[in-house]
């Protein structure tokens, strides 16, 4: 009975969130009473009870556990970090959200423990005095997982960035609901029809700006149109700008960031990485503003986001070890990056390839590349990275060789791996070595799957994916009628024919390129059009809600904003979003799987 109360079979998300907010309010009032009694100096931060602190991370994890714990017992865990990891495992938190919450929790707990050891009492208050902060920062230099080289200033900045990220995620998952905005573009201030959502986001930006700068923001009616549009229509853009208000400058067309990033010669790697993180955020904001304003098609947008990731990889490659010093190494991309359809909140699915004699050295360089891409700092992180699609998964060698790839795909690869590696391409490093790896993979796929009837096995895999989906959630990838239906129709035909789709052509491009003897042209054309519609809807959901996959809300004002975004980038899209496309894709899958 107790378990049913904690993990209700039919959870009421609104009621659960209201309970968390009520408890959070009590804790906040308790903190204010304590501060009044102590006459706490201004500038001191309570690492546990201030907004974005340890308690908010715990409350958020517990809210998600209660919401999904009945259907998915795996997410039930008493340890907060374990709970966050399990919620990520089950797609309840994105890779970026897990990274932000986990790194913030680790940082704040380290600081809490150091404070208590130093003062010999139970305290959670970060001192405001520079000398005390510098002493605390120095004590953390050798702490596992935490490194401070910039002293008190860096410590304050990292704590502020971590707590701001937590506050943003807490607001997204547990914050008060707001009325749905009108469908029109907001062009004026509150007195002339600005929606409640825009006013709320503007107030959050005002509070954030006050902590970063003494210069006040203008009135909402005087704000640049692109900034108002970003706050009103895109939760992803709004959260990025609210966390770091200076990024709003990236929205202006006349200050568009450069197309590529070249690290300054001789610059300190940490400085260069910080600049690279800011550039990546600014460039992404600029691309989204351009897309909204110019109603750009999603194909162009996703290729532009892919180009940003490839520029980042090139810069990180140089930082991880100059080619003259580094072992021979190539980086292969799978998934959305391999397809040249990288989107907001997408992971980078990477495979590292080395010459046989240099595997150990190459693995060390690969680890540095992954660390540079994923490290979360006051400037955020670059990208989440997933290397589990390498042969052997998480237990396999980090650096593969062309020979090991050839053996694996000839003798051991399963169908799911085969489908994944149809999208592989070289994105960084030694192109000749990468080309050898691609040839080895494709020859292995041909030897193992050409001429084999894969229909029944692939369909069983597809049905298992559907059964393992989470009840009460949805998305445009795994559920019936999602991307995987289109992917499996095309992939079966490529594998059985011993062929591969055009490199980097995208999901729709791969379907369109199928020869007529493998799929009737009319069917291929319709599937490609449907795949493009699903991609546009998925992108609109990510831009408008700041979430992806099963984490996207199934109803509410953020979903209405997503379909408004879809209408701008895909003229003629139905007002209901992607429902009609999903139904038609499933019908075609049942006929042509």
Tens digit of each residue's pLDDT (9 = 90 or more) over 399-412: 999 999 999 999 99
Tens digit of each residue's pLDDT (9 = 90 or more) over 486-542: 999 999 999 999 999 999 999 999 999 999 999 999 999 999 999 999 999 999 999
560 — pLDDT class (breaks 50, 70, 90): confident
Report the 3 state secondary structure along 108-166. Answer: HHHHHHHHHHHHCCCCCEECCCHHHHHHHHHHCCCCCCCCCCCHHHHHHHHHHHHHHHH
| Nearest residue to 140 via CA among 117, 163, 164, 121 | 117
Report the C-alpha gap between 168 and 166 in whole angstroms: 5
Lowest mean pLDDT of 8-17, 366-375, 470-479, 509-518, name the range.
470-479
Predicted local distance difference test score (pLDDT) of residue 217: 74
SS3 476: coil
Report the C-alpha gap between 120 and 130 in whole angstroms: 20
Predicted local distance difference test score (pLDDT) of residue 576: 64
Whether the full predicted model's pTM is greater than 0.75, yes or no, is no
Lowest mean pLDDT of 50-59, 154-163, 208-217, 465-474, name the range.
465-474
The DSSP element (H or E) to which 400 belongs, if any, is strand 399-400
Predicted local distance difference test score (pLDDT) of residue 522: 96
Predicted local distance difference test score (pLDDT) of residue 4: 59
Predicted local distance difference test score (pLDDT) of residue 119: 61
The 10 Å CB-count burial string (b at 16+, else e) for 122-159 is eebbbbeeeeebeebbebbeeeeebebeebbebbbebb
Lowest mean pLDDT of 216-220, 392-396, 485-489, 588-592, name the range.
216-220
341 — pLDDT class (breaks 50, 70, 90): very high
Predicted local distance difference test score (pLDDT) of residue 165: 83
What rounded mean pLDDT belongs to the chain?
A: 83
Predicted local distance difference test score (pLDDT) of residue 112: 86
| Residue 286 in this model has a pLDDT that exceeds 80 | yes
| Nearest residue to 7 via CA among 62, 70, 54, 64 | 70
Report the C-alpha gap between 319 and 330 in whole angstroms: 15
Q: What is the mean pLDDT of residues 232-257?
A: 84
331 — pLDDT class (breaks 50, 70, 90): very high
| Better pLDDT: 57 or 128 | 57
Predicted local distance difference test score (pLDDT) of residue 227: 93
Distance set, CA 427 to CA 228, 360, 440 (Å): 36, 21, 17
SS3 425: strand
Percent of the chain with pLDDT over 70: 85
- Cβ–Cβ < 8 Å for 347, 95: yes
Distance set, CA 289 to CA 186, 275, 407, 422 (Å): 14, 21, 46, 33
Report the C-alpha gap between 37 and 22 in whole angstroms: 23
260 — pLDDT class (breaks 50, 70, 90): very low
Tens digit of each residue's pLDDT (9 = 90 or more) over 177-208: 433 332 322 232 333 334 788 988 888 888 78
| Residue 284 in this model has a pLDDT that exceeds 90 | yes
| Better pLDDT: 151 or 455 | 455
Tokens of 15: 């009621």
Predicted local distance difference test score (pLDDT) of residue 180: 32
| Better pLDDT: 254 or 289 | 289
């Amino acid at each position: 009975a107790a378990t049913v109360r904690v993990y209700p079979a039919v959870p009421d998300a609104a009621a659960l969130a209201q309970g968390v907010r009520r408890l959070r309010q009590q804790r906040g009032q308790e903190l204010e009473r304590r501060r009044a009694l102590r006459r706490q100096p201004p500038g001191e931060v309570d690492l546990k009870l201030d907004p974005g602190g340890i308690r908010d991370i715990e409350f958020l994890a517990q809210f998600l556990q209660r919401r999904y714990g009945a259907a998915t017992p795996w997410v039930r865990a008493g340890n907060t970090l374990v709970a966050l990891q399990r919620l990520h495992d089950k797609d309840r938190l994105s890779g970026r959200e897990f990274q932000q919450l986990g790194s913030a929790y680790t940082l704040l707990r380290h600081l809490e423990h150091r404070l208590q050891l130093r003062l010999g009492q139970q305290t959670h208050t970060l001192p405001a005095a520079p000398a005390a902060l510098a002493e605390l920062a120095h004590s953390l230099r050798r702490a596992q997982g935490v490194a401070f080289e910039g002293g008190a200033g860096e410590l304050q900045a990292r704590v502020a960035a971590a707590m701001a990220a937590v506050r943003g995620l807490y607001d997204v998952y547990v914050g008060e609901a707001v009325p749905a905005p009108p469908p029109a573009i907001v062009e004026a201030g509150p007195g002339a029809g600005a929606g409640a959502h825009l006013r709320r986001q503007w107030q959050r930006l005002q509070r954030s700006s006050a902590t970063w700068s003494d210069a006040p923001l203008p009135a909402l009616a005087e704000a640049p149109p692109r900034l108002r549009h970003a706050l009103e229509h895109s939760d992803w853009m709004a959260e990025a700008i609210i966390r770091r208000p200076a990024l709003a400058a990236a929205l202006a067309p006349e200050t568009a960031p450069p197309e590529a990033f070249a690290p300054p010669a001789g610059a300190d790697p940490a400085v260069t990485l910080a600049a690279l993180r800011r550039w990546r955020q600014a460039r992404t904001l600029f691309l989204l503003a351009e897309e909204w304003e110019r109603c750009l098609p999603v194909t162009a947008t996703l290729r532009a986001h892919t180009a940003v990731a490839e520029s980042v990889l090139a810069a990180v490659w140089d930082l991880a070890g100059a080619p003259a010093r580094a072992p021979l190494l190539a980086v292969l991309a799978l998934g959305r990056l391999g397809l040249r359809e990288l989107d907001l909140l997408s992971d980078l699915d990477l495979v590292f390839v080395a010459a046989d004699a240099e595997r150990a050295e190459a693995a060390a360089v690969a680890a540095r590349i992954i660390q540079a891409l994923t490290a979360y700092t006051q400037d955020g992180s670059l990208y989440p990275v997933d290397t589990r699609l390498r042969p052997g998964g998480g237990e396999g060698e980090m650096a593969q060789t062309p020979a090991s790839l050839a053996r694996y795909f000839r003798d051991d690869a399963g169908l799911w791996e085969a489908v994944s590696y149809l999208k592989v391409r070289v994105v960084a490093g030694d192109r000749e070595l990468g080309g050898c790896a691609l040839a080895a993979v494709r020859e292995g796929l041909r030897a193992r799957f050409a001429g084999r009837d894969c229909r029944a096995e692939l369909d069983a895999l597809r049905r298992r994916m559907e059964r393992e989906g989470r009840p009460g959630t949805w998305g445009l990838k795994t559920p019936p009628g999602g991307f995987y239906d289109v992917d499996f129709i095309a992939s079966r035909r490529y594998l059985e024919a011993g062929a591969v789709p055009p490199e980097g052509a995208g999901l729709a491009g791969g379907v369109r390129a199928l020869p007529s003897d493998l799929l009737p042209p009319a069917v291929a054309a319709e599937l490609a059009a449907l795949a493009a519609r699903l991609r546009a809807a998925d992108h609109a959901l990510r831009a408008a809600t700041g979430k992806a996959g099963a984490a996207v809300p199934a109803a509410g004002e953020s979903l209405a904003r997503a379909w408004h975004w879809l209408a701008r980038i895909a003229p003629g899209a139905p007002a209901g979003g992607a429902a009609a496309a999903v139904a038609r894709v499933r019908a075609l899958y049942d006929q042509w799987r």
